[in-house]
Structure 1
Amino acid sequence: MSREFDVIVYGATGFVGELTARYLAEQAPEGTRIALAGRNETKLAAVRRRLGERAAAWPLIVADSDSPASLDAMCARTRVVCTTVGPYMRYGENMVVAAASAGTDYVDLTGEVPFVRFTIDKVDELAKSTGARIVNSCGFDSVPSDLGAYLLYKKAAEAGAGTLGETTLILHSFRGALSGGTIDSMRALAEEAKDPQTRRLLLNPRALSGGPGEPEQAGPSDEPSDIVPVSAKKVDPSLRGTLAPFFMSSYNTRVVRRSDSLLDNAYGPGFRYQETMAVSDIPLLSSLLAGIVTIGTGAGLALMAFGPTRKVLDKVLPKPGQGPSEKTRETGHFTTRTYTRTSDGRRFRSQMRADGDPGYKATAVMLGESALGLALDRDQLPERFGALTPAAAMGDVLIERLKRAGFVIEAHELT
């Protein structure tokens, strides 16, 4: 495509938007054509000044989520639009339609099932017709989850070990903070969940697996639960204790199942997927902690959905655009490990590990490399268009980019 820019960072004046722009300023190859976009040109100019010499000549584009015409004009100028403007249910619909209409590839950070369902229903066919890759969830939600399962599928196939069966991600270690944007998305979801139709969508474990207008119908019993503790030994015989539910499981699991669907169910007929957190390998202590996490997660969502308690929480929780200090971002880290047993009975494990606060520094790397992969590695990408996942859209390309960026990403057979 002949476009003026390779990547436009939309929402560059926000906390994660500026972090992503900074990552691109430091790490994008020389000659990569990048612009910054947002509602306020003065604020955009201030961000550009903070980014240093490499970004000094980056153009500034004024565009507003409430102005479809400005979004259409912006998307027509770039190969890829990288948007951090959420909650996406409030601010993302015009943006994703504009990208699909212009044949522009798109990456975001959404963790909102209803928004991804909107994307599938409203722009999947349009994006296929224009040759656009619309890739949701290119940060901590849900790159480690999606690539973890994808790696196992590839490794098992290479080893001739059959297809994937019971598969479980464990958030093995984590140090970081929830962003104001993530909390605002949780507020929006709590509000949306008051609608019975949205509630049914949120409770459907395969809500994102079907095509436009056709979400696969499944009940909670058709897939592993997102909200109960799990015996570690059931995941793999080498593990001990009890695992707690991972607080983003109810979103990430649906993204991983969508990848399987987009890959023509290549993970196998016995593929069942869940996500958990390691809290301790001491049996009694881990059971207690897993129970506390389970109760606390449910209580937190309930309190956020209830008007009076939500007002109290709003006063103490981070606001949109806020984030942790540079020291906190630098000292964060995460490790995810995903286990499976294949149809041949063999056991495999994949791992992803990175330094930096998962929701901020590491997410800026994942989002930035996703945008660069779509913009600069087009000849290596699968011929797949429409509403996609990171694994389905970029797969091996994104894995190699993240490895070069310092992530540890690996998979091997267990004995």
Structure 2
Amino acid sequence: MTDAREHDLVLFGVTGFVGRLLAAYVAEHAPPGLRVALAGRSRAKVEDVRAGLPAAAHDWPVVVADTQDPERLAAMARSTRVVVSTVGPYLRHGLPVVGACARNGTHYADLTGETPFVRRAVDRYDHVARAAGARLVHACGYDAVPSDLAVLTLHRRVTADGAGCLQDVRLVATARGGVSGGTIASVRGIAEQAARDARVRRLLADPFALSPDRDAEPDVPQPPDVPAPGRTVDGGWVAASPMASFNTRVVRRSNALTGWSYGRSMRYGEVAGTGRGARGAAAAYALTAALPAFAGAVAFPPTRALLDRVLPAPGEGPDEETRRTGRFRMDVHAVTTTGRHYRAVAAGEGDPGYAATAVMLGESALALALDGDRLPDAAGSLTPATGLGDVLVERLRAAGHTYEASPR
């Protein structure tokens, strides 16, 4: 791609909750001279958002684009080297944006946590993007950057130590934060599709649902997405993680896209840490029961209508105090094929789904716009680890996040 394009980076969807946070982050951290534009359906609403951003953004141009208008989407994609989209739910709105970027050789990033959307994007546009030299990097937020980059960091250390390949890997996630209406809408969309479509249910149940070559995947049983509550070696309680069914598929896709470099026999699972003692046990059992109950409730129209009265609506999210005081930590425990034990940590401050996600997606955007010559030599439908790799790890460390791995 050349500088003949009008913009270096277009932020699409800035009138949404996460879109506003992303635009503010880029305004504070983009270097002088980076040509950034803000995009959305309504020029007036985008201009209102721009007026509330840091001063560096006040001269950014506005691009009018709509996921229902192919011509405007194509024009947006042609105008820039990178599009970052926060327009969700992605199952409903995402594919036209991916297609426009793939066809026009424009790099793309999003923060989806929707397995069916990524599968459809891969099937329809991976080959188109490869031919055009475009990177389509999905899941650049809390889903699934910490998981994907923690395992990449672990793999790098194990390889450097000559300790074989990864064999048994389990991530224990702890977090504090809120939830937005956009996240609820994404969960509801997946639950509704699964309720009426057996193909979606089979996809969600497949541990290798996002593999680039399903038939080539090794016949290695994977940990369940919803395990029974249990204990860790240090006495803490763990339960099913709401993010496991997506994040594990992304990590396994990263492994497959790199020729199973992490290990063809790798077993990878994720759980949520709930604390210690009786309170931790109670939280573990409550969380395990709540996940399927919530999925069923949002898929069933009468209970969904009741939930809509109390849950955040699209465009709404946690307040500033919640975003500021949130945090996340992933502790990854691994055993290699040579029997050695390793541990990796991914951690950061700020509400993981919003404040920390704005950092992750913002640094992904800047990496695509500024670091092309240092990024992995890859195109097509990619993961954070395979599309941005060590460059994103470096950027996030510089932004205050932790990514480290060591023997134990």
Q: Structure 2 length normalisation: TM-score?
A: 0.96
Deviations along 1:18-72, one digit per CA (max 9) or x if unpaired, are 1000000001111111000000000111111101320111000000000111010
Question: Do 1:204 and 1:217's aligned partners in 2 also have CA atoms closer than 8 Å?
Answer: no
Q: Distance in 2 between matches of 1:309 and 1:142?
A: 29
Name the residue aligned to 1:191.
192
Name the residue aligned to 1:293.
287
Q: Distance in 2 between matches of 1:202 and 1:409?
A: 29
Question: Do 1:45 and 1:60's aligned partners in 2 also have CA atoms closer than 8 Å?
Answer: yes
Query: Superposed, which structure 2 residues align to 1:64-103 within 5 Å?
Result: 64-103=66-105
Equivalent residue in structure 2 for 1:265, among 244, 253, 260:
260
Deviations along 1:187-238, one digit per CA (max 9) or x if unpaired, are 1001110201111111111010134xx677899x9310010135444xxx4x
Name the residue aligned to 1:226.
225
SS at 1:379 equivalent:
coil
The yes-or-no answer on 1:391 pairing with 2:392 is: no
Q: How far apart are 1:178 and its partner, in Å?
A: 1.2
Q: Distance in 2 between matches of 1:285 and 1:363?
A: 29
Question: Do 1:208 and 1:216's aligned partners in 2 also have CA atoms closer than 8 Å?
Answer: no
Query: Superposed, which structure 2 residues align to 1:35-184 within 5 Å?
Result: 35-171=37-173, 173-184=174-185
Q: How far apart are 1:304 and its partner, in Å?
A: 1.1
Q: Distance in 2 between matches of 1:39 and 1:216?
A: 42
Q: CA distance change for structure 1 residues 95 and 355 in 2, over 3 Å: closer, same or farther?
A: same
Name the residue aligned to 1:309.
303
Q: How far apart are 1:285 and its partner, in Å?
A: 4.9
Question: Do 1:167 and 1:272's aligned partners in 2 also have CA atoms closer than 8 Å?
Answer: yes
Q: Distance in 2 between matches of 1:286 and 1:404?
A: 34
Q: Distance in 2 between matches of 1:290 and 1:379?
A: 45
Q: How far apart are 1:242 and its partner, in Å?
A: 3.2
Deviations along 1:319-362, one digit per CA (max 9) or x if unpaired, are 11101111111111111111111111111111111111111110
Name the residue aligned to 2:209.
207
SS at 2:269 equivalent:
strand
Letter in 2 for 1:348: Y
The yes-or-no answer on 1:343 pairing with 2:337 is: yes
Name the residue aligned to 1:364.
358
Q: Distance in 1 between matches of 2:208 and 2:270?
A: 15
Question: Do 1:87 and 1:188's aligned partners in 2 also have CA atoms closer than 8 Å?
Answer: yes
Letter in 2 for 1:201: L
SS at 2:172 equivalent:
strand
SS at 1:380 equivalent:
coil
Q: Structure 1 length normalisation: TM-score?
A: 0.95
Q: Distance in 2 between matches of 1:11 and 1:347?
A: 43
SS at 1:387 equivalent:
strand
RMSD: 1.5
Deviations along 1:226-261, one digit per CA (max 9) or x if unpaired, are 10135444xxx4x22431111111111101100001
SS at 2:373 equivalent:
helix
Gaps of 5+ in 2: none
Q: How far apart are 1:406 and its partner, in Å?
A: 1.0
Question: Do 1:207 and 1:215's aligned partners in 2 also have CA atoms closer than 8 Å?
Answer: no
Letter in 1 for 2:355: K
Identity within the alignment, %: 47
Q: How far apart are 1:263 and its partner, in Å?
A: 0.9
Q: CA distance change for structure 1 residues 217 and 380 in 2, over 3 Å: closer, same or farther?
A: closer
Name the residue aligned to 1:26.
28
Question: Do 2:239 and 2:288's aligned partners in 1 also have CA atoms closer than 8 Å?
Answer: yes
Q: How far apart are 1:281 and its partner, in Å?
A: 3.1
Q: Distance in 1 between matches of 2:250 and 2:163?
A: 24
Question: Do 1:204 and 1:218's aligned partners in 2 also have CA atoms closer than 8 Å?
Answer: no
> Is 288-297 or 77-86 further displaced after alignment?
288-297
Question: Do 2:229 and 2:288's aligned partners in 1 also have CA atoms closer than 8 Å?
Answer: no
Q: How far apart are 1:302 and its partner, in Å?
A: 1.1
Q: Distance in 2 between matches of 1:60 and 1:161?
A: 51
Gaps of 5+ in 1: none
Q: Distance in 2 between matches of 1:113 and 1:217?
A: 18
Q: Distance in 2 between matches of 1:350 and 1:71?
A: 40
Question: Do 2:10 and 2:37's aligned partners in 1 also have CA atoms closer than 8 Å?
Answer: yes
The yes-or-no answer on 1:277 pairing with 2:276 is: no
Q: How far apart are 1:5 and its partner, in Å?
A: 1.3
Q: Distance in 1 between matches of 2:259 and 2:80?
A: 30
Q: Distance in 2 between matches of 1:395 and 1:163?
A: 18
Q: Distance in 1 between matches of 2:293 and 2:99?
A: 36
